[in-house]
Chain A
């Protein structure tokens, strides 16, 4: 094969390989993009600081809570109340009920999603059971707290925010709290 064929073939093969890598690079890029923009309902998985800004009593926002165990997750999992009306800036606590009806210990991980997606950036969690994995012995139940506030900067077209949790059974992947928190930090 002539030399000029070889060098061009090589260059093209490098492009193809780079594009294979690019496909994988899209994975972190996508996460970064969604985190920065709050698209796709991605809310922070780390705590927001509690120094909330002024409370805007002139405005009310309805927060709806949805909780759903994943198909393979046997826990009973539901919010204490279905909806709550808040003023932006106010800090609230909301409890979620979890019950493990099986006879064995199960570890759960809740994954949050906020809709409309654009409101996700303005929904701040100060403390949340979704920041860590939760373990629950068989036959036991517990209350899992969420502490949050809505940013007063929330654009005015949003009057309702829906927070939805899906709870997954992660017992098989559970290796203790240290591993759990590092996994969540990503």
Chain B
């Protein structure tokens, strides 16, 4: 993508160092956005490769390719990389690229900090990945690193794990502060709160969630560190601690974290659907309120991950009802998207296809979430493949599909070229079919009792698992088409107009395509 941007060094103040130095020292929001997105894509493939190892092992019952300990490292590091390395940085990349342009700001408010928040990230993941090569292997206690698995029973690489999570946390907090300061202070005159595009709104709320809960994650990994190496006993019953406390603190972070990974997706879909339905978004204000209430409620539901720890009935009921309550604002959103399309003049370019798939498949994930929220039912479903199916529907066909949709939607703005529509459609249909082969049957094996995070399984699950694995390999392969589309589009293609999409509205569509290195150095006038 660098080639594309340098082509347009037409203004004299566009000077930037050439080569690697440009990327190391850049404080330009578009450069940093691009780096975040490329980084996320690389991580998506590294995490994806681990998923392929997992599915290869589970292709048949019995031990096939890898040692159980290595299998556990794969599930753990796959989860960590996908959450902290792929989905979150991709959203931050989109925020960097789009928020300043959407609110008519010349750049992010804190450009130097922006550079830092990106550049510490590769080191965090380098440390995490290198820990896999230590004697004894990398972390193998699951992405949720429950004590005592991560304290008493963990390997020597735990210190590296903790350190890398600290760095990821600092990076996200700095990124979040930057987003908030930008949105508060740099909106163009006339860009009032209720005129902001929904992507900006959802990211603003996400950023607040980030600064509220990432420090709690930092705290809980620190406790794991001191329990393991410095003799404290936060989670050790022998010293007066309690392992269940770990789960409370972790999920106090963990549940808002899952919303951190979905709110920006809501923003993306709320941008794409009106464009391709050629109608304004239905219920803009209700979208803002729904997002805020989801964010607030997300602090009150953490123990739905812990129903089986033996909670008193009153506690279980409280968390069950709060969890179900979240489905209400979520339903409002789905309703609004559908109402936006109602009687719209719809066309089905690739971004719209992914957005539509998002709406349907994310809703399936929401429904399985509601099933899990029913406490007595969760006793049966907990820690089975049903949970795996649930969170992959909301995260893969939810968060990841929205990121892919966003990439297709804004690629012409970034590169100045239209992507190859035909290849994009191939990418979409291959992904859609394979992702459902991959995750839908997991509901059934989960309901039948197949436990998650185990490298072997009972014989009756064999056919389903073979089918799931084939879906997995196909889904992995389909993403290579995506890379092909991206490379092709960065290299050339039909010239994109400023507006790109016939129905697109918003400030980002008023600047030329590709967006010049500097935009809105004088604030635009907002009607």
A residues near B (Cβ < 8 Å) are 1-2, 4-5, 8-9, 12-13, 15-24, 26-27, 30-31, 37, 39-41, 70, 109, 111, 115, 117-118, 166, 168, 170, 173, 183-184, 186
Chain B residue at smallest Cβ distance from A2: B185
B315 in the interface, Cβ–Cβ < 8 Å? yes
A-side contacts of B238, CB under 8 Å: 70, 109, 111, 166, 168, 170
| 25 A-B residue pairings within 8 Å (CB atoms) | A4-B185, A5-B109, A5-B181, A5-B185, A8-B185, A12-B176, A12-B180, A16-B215, A20-B219, A22-B216, A23-B216, A23-B219, A23-B253, A26-B252, A27-B234, A27-B245, A27-B249, A30-B242, A41-B310, A115-B310, A118-B312, A166-B237, A166-B238, A168-B237, A170-B238
Q: How far is the CB of B405 from chain A (nearest CB, A)?
A: 30
Q: How far is the CB of A69 from chain B (nearest CB, A)?
A: 11
B220 in the interface, Cβ–Cβ < 8 Å? yes
A-side contacts of B181, CB under 8 Å: 5, 8-9, 12
- Interface class of chain B by DSSP: helix
Q: How many A-B residue pairs have CB under 8 A?
A: 95
Q: Let me know if A39 and B249 touch, CB within 8 A.
A: no
Interfacial residues of chain B within 200-230, with CB under 8 A of chain A in the complex? 211-220, 223
Q: How long is the Cα–Cα vector from A173 to B240 in the complex, in angstroms?
A: 13
Q: Let me know if A9 and B216 touch, CB within 8 A.
A: no
B370 in the interface, Cβ–Cβ < 8 Å? no
Q: Which 6 A-B pairs have the closest CB atoms?
A: A23-B219, A168-B238, A20-B215, A19-B215, A23-B216, A12-B177
- Interface class of chain A by DSSP: helix
Q: Let me know if A8 and B312 touch, CB within 8 A.
A: no
B-side contacts of A183, CB under 8 Å: 240
Q: How long is the Cα–Cα vector from A168 to B181 in the complex, in angstroms?
A: 51
B-side contacts of A170, CB under 8 Å: 238
Q: Let me know if A23 and B249 touch, CB within 8 A.
A: yes
Q: How far is the CB of A27 from chain B (nearest CB, A)?
A: 6
Q: Let me know if B211 and A23 touch, CB within 8 A.
A: no
What 0/1 pattern do residues 243 to 278 of B give for CB contact below 8 A with A? 011001100110000000000000000000000000
Q: How far is the CB of B401 from chain A (nearest CB, A)?
A: 31
Q: How long is the Cα–Cα vector from A85 to B252 in the complex, in angstroms?
A: 41
B173 in the interface, Cβ–Cβ < 8 Å? yes
Known: A19-B211, A22-B216, A23-B252. 16 other contacts (CB 8 A): A1-B109, A15-B212, A16-B215, A20-B216, A20-B218, A22-B219, A23-B219, A23-B220, A23-B253, A26-B216, A26-B249, A30-B242, A30-B245, A41-B310, A117-B310, A186-B240
B-side contacts of A173, CB under 8 Å: 239
Q: How long is the Cα–Cα vector from A82 to B208 in the complex, in angstroms?
A: 54
B-side contacts of A21, CB under 8 Å: 219
Q: Known contacts A8-B180, A40-B242; is A26 also within 8 Å of B248 by CB?
A: yes
Q: Let me know if B216 and A19 touch, CB within 8 A.
A: yes
A-side contacts of B312, CB under 8 Å: 37, 39, 117-118
Interfacial residues of chain B within 86-116, with CB under 8 A of chain A in the complex? 109-110
A-side contacts of B176, CB under 8 Å: 12
B193 in the interface, Cβ–Cβ < 8 Å? no
Q: How long is the Cα–Cα vector from A115 to B310 in the complex, in angstroms?
A: 9
A-side contacts of B242, CB under 8 Å: 30-31, 40
What 0/1 pattern do residues 110 to 127 of B give for CB contact below 8 A with A? 100000000000000000
A-side contacts of B484, CB under 8 Å: none
A5, A18, A21: which has the most chain B beta carbons within 10 Å? A5
B-side contacts of A115, CB under 8 Å: 310
Q: Known contacts A24-B219, A117-B310, A186-B240; is A5 also within 8 Å of B110 by CB?
A: yes
Chain A residue at smallest Cβ distance from B240: A186
B-side contacts of A4, CB under 8 Å: 185
B426 in the interface, Cβ–Cβ < 8 Å? no
Q: How long is the Cα–Cα vector from A8 to B180 in the complex, in angstroms?
A: 9
A-side contacts of B234, CB under 8 Å: 27
